[in-house]
Amino acid sequence: MQSMASPRSSVLVRGSIFSSATSTACQERTSSSLKAVSLLHGQAFKARVDGAARGEFIPTVYSLSQMQRLLTSTTHVSSLRQQGSLAHPIRRRHADNNSSRVRADATVSMVESVSREEKATQPLREVVSTPNAPAALGPYSQAIKANGMLYVSGCLGLDPATMKFPSEDVSDQAEQLMKNMGEILRAGGSSFDCVVKTTILLSDLKDFGTVNAIYGRYFQDSPPARSTFQVAALPLNAKLEIECIALLSAGGSGRQ
């Protein structure tokens, strides 16, 4: 973990929180940055009250919950002042109220800026599951959302209610498979129009024409990239399996 300790970090401790000259309005502004601070995912600022009282900055690790209490508890700050922990060295250094407020506001802006960058770069991963499609047959998820994309696992033409194939006919399995895929796409916040890549696995390449005709009804405009393979066997002796990768959409206007 990269240390967040820096001279600018100490401004937050001595200027925004522990300065006797800091106004109530400034403290309220600092408290409003709690949401931003929480987005730092545990990379809380480091400070020691005794060091700050001497005008020094001596790093020590504070948990996020401790940092939140320090940010919001004016009672805690008042108690420290009464004990003399926040006596004259800080008062002399931050005697000018306007200057202290400016420095505190600048630090809050810095916290919010770092938090936005942290949020933007933090990878997101979410499991997608729906009872309207067949349950996973092993240790995998129906789909995963990650960084604006939806990764759909290989789908089979199983009826989700019975977990059996409607028939041994490849066309029946292909129809059910595409319905299952549509349900997973919908549950993941996407649609067939947002699919960018598919992979088709066939137990017999002679079925390609039949599967292709059914598949094509779901991808009429700007069809996605695709790969098709014949394989030796598929789970449950299925006739075909299809997986896909799709973009996430705000409404999913495509055919499902």
Q: 185-239: per-residue pLDDT in tens?
A: 999 999 999 999 999 999 999 999 999 999 999 999 999 999 999 999 999 999 9
- Sequence-ordered list of residues with C-beta below 8 angstroms from that of 193, at least 6 positions apart, any chain: 221, 222, 249, 252, 253, 254, 255
Residue 74 lies in a domain: yes
pLDDT at 138 (0 to 100): 95
Alpha helices in 22-153 (DSSP H): 24-31, 34-38, 49-53, 64-72, 74-82, 88-93, 97-121
CB-count burial class (<10 Å; 0-12, 13-18, 19+) for 256: middle
Work out how many domains the chain is built from and give that number.
Answer: 2
pLDDT at 124 (0 to 100): 82
Strand, helix or coil at 26? helix
Q: 38-85: per-residue pLDDT in tens?
A: 444 444 444 444 555 555 544 444 455 555 555 555 454 455 555 554
Q: Which of 74, 93, 121 is the last residue of a domain?
A: 121
Residue 254 lies in a domain: no
**C-alpha span between 170 and 208 (Å, rounded):** 10
Q: Which of 89, 104, 121 is the last residue of a domain?
A: 121
Q: What is the pTM of this model?
A: 0.54
Here the CATH number for the domain that contains residue 205 is 3.30.1330.40
Residue 232 lies in a domain: yes
Instruction: Identify the domain containing residue 73 by its residue range.
Output: 7-121
* Least confident span in 31-45, 109-123, 138-152, 166-180: 31-45
Same domain for 192 and 98, yes or no, is no
pLDDT at 96 (0 to 100): 53
